[in-house]
C-alpha cells in the first residue's frame, strides 16, 4: 500500500508541478474569499494534498506521505471543531430564575404551544467579508499576492540554485496569502488556516534548502499541536461570545 502511494505521489509530482501550483492558487483564493465553513474545509483538504505534492519534489516519497497524513489529521480536527460550532443545545430556564406569581392571573397555555428544547444551528456573523464587494476585494487581494510572489521569484537572485521556480513561487504565495488571511479575518478557524499557510510555505522553503529528518518530524508535530490549539480557541471564543450576548440581553 505504501509503495503504491509512493509511486502515485512521485508520478503526480513529476507530471503536475504546474497544475499543482495552479490548484494551490485556486485553493488560496477560495480560502481568502469565502466564509462558508464547508467550502473552507474542502479547500483546505485539497491544499493539504497539493502541499504534499510539492514536498514530494524535495523529500523522499515516504516523508511526503507523512506530511499528507498529518495534514489530513489537521483537517479532521477542523471538521470536528466545525461540527461542534454548528450545533449547540438551547439553554433551559433555571429554576432559581423563575419568579413566583399568582397562578390565577396567568393565561391559559395549550400543550401545543409548548416547545421542547432542540438543537439549533448557529449562524455565522455577517461582516464586510460576506458581501459581494468584500468577496471581490479579497479576490483582487489574492491576485495581488500572486503577482507580488511572481515578481519576487523572477526579479530576485536567490543563492539556492537547487530550488526550482515553482517551489519558490508556491513558498512566497503561501506565506503572502497566510499573512493576508490573518490580517483580514477575525474568525479563529480561518486565522488558523492562515497560520498553516505561512507555516507550510516556510516548511517547503526550509526543507528544500536544508532537508533534515529531525526538523521535519518537529514541524509535523507542530502542525498537530497548532491544530488542537486553534480548535480550543475557536470553541472557547464561541462560548465567550454567547455569554457576552446573553449578558447584554439580560
pLDDT tens-digit series, residues 68-80: 899 999 999 999 9
Residue spans of alpha helices (H) in 87-212: 132-155, 165-184, 188-209
Among 3-17, 29-43, 127-141, 217-231, where is mean pLDDT lowest?
3-17
Question: Using alpha carbons only, what angle is made at residue 129 by residues 149 and 85, rounded to the nearest 5 degrees?
Answer: 110
Mean pLDDT of the 23-37 span = 89
Q: What is the pLDDT of residue 167?
A: 87
pLDDT at 73: 94
Find where cell 477575525 sits.
Answer: 186
Amino acid at each position: 500500500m505504501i509503495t503504491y502511494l509512493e509511486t502515485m505521489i512521485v508520478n503526480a509530482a513529476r507530471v503536475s508541478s504546474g497544475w499543482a501550483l495552479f490548484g494551490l492558487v485556486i485553493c488560496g483564493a477560495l480560502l481568502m474569499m469565502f466564509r462558508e465553513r464547508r467550502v473552507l474545509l474542502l479547500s483546505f483538504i485539497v491544499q493539504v494534498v497539493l502541499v504534499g505534492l510539492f514536498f514530494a519534489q524535495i523529500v523522499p516519497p515516504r516523508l511526503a506521505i507523512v506530511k499528507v497524513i498529518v495534514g489530513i489529521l489537521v483537517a479532521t480536527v477542523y471538521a470536528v471543531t466545525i461540527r461542534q460550532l454548528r450545533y449547540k443545545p438551547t439553554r433551559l430556564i433555571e429554576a432559581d430564575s423563575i419568579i413566583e406569581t399568582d397562578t390565577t392571573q396567568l393565561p391559559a397555555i395549550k400543550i401545543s404551544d409548548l416547545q421542547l428544547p432542540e438543537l439549533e444551528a448557529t449562524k455565522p456573523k455577517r461582516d464586510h467579508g460576506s458581501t459581494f464587494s468584500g468577496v471581490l476585494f479579497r479576490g483582487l487581494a489574492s491576485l495581488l499576492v500572486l503577482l507580488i510572489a511572481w515578481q519576487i521569484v523572477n526579479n530576485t537572485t536567490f543563492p539556492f540554485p537547487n530550488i526550482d521556480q515553482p517551489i519558490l513561487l508556491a513558498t512566497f504565495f503561501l506565506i503572502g496569502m497566510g499573512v493576508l488571511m490573518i490580517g483580514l479575518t477575525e474568525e479563529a478557524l480561518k486565522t488558523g488556516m492562515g497560520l498553516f499557510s505561512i507555516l507550510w510555505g516556510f516548511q517547503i522553503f526550509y526543507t528544500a534548502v536544508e532537508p533534515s529528518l529531525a526538523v521535519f518530524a518537529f514541524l509535523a508535530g507542530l502542525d498537530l499541536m497548532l491544530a488542537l490549539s486553534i480548535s480550543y480557541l475557536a470553541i472557547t471564543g464561541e462560548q465567550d461570545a454567547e455569554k457576552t450576548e446573553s449578558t447584554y440581553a439580560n
